[in-house]
Amino acid sequence: MSTITITDAAHDYLADLLSKQNTTGIGIRIFITQPGTQYAETCIAYCKPGEQKAEDTALALASFTAWIDAVSEPFLEDAVVDYATDRMGGQLTIKAPNAKVPMVNEDSPLNERINYYLQTEINPGLASHGGQVSLIDVVDDGIAVLQFGGGCQGCGQADLTLKEGIEKTLLQRIPELKGVRDVTDHSNKENAYY
């Protein structure tokens, strides 16, 4: 069960907006960009039937469905969507007190912490180049094996990005991590697996 609250005022306001879209079954999708970082922003978007993602949580409301993004869901804990009226009219407000709170701590498993920082800090930057990086494995007592995808694959700058950007960030965040290695790095053959 989702822990997000959508007030009646917000529900009615959104239902009214949705009714003007002339799309049967249209709902909303709630997600956070860069969750768990100081750049986190909570977003509400129109969600036509079929636009939701398979892993989204459906929150059935009186007039429409709100789809909650799976990655964002833990960060939406105690979030309140409200519609506040004032002299100027009114506006939709979203208070998500946990949007910027990292959902990992020193006690979280190493792979969870690595994945968390990849999703929140590294991939948003790589996305501008159409790339992303994912964790394949943690080997040799603390070496993260990463795989580049999208626009990063085969990019001449990938090594630099890996060492200067990704490794530096992860080592700052996760002290016991020893380093990172690209899964496609064949210069180090001693532990290579084919």
3-class secondary structure per residue, 13-33:
HHHHHHHCCCCCCCEEEEEEE
Mean residue pLDDT of the chain comes to 85
Tokens standing for 21?
Answer: 């879209």
Q: How far apart are CA 51 and CA 59, in angstroms?
A: 15
Q: How far apart are CA 129 and CA 154, in angstroms?
A: 13
Residue 47 assigned as binding residue: no
Helix, strand, or coil (residue 179): strand
Q: Is the pLDDT of residue 1 over 60?
A: no
pLDDT of residue 28: 97
pTM of the complete model: 0.59
Q: Is the pLDDT of residue 189 over 60?
A: no
Which has more confidence, 188 or 57? 57
Residue 43 assigned as binding residue: no
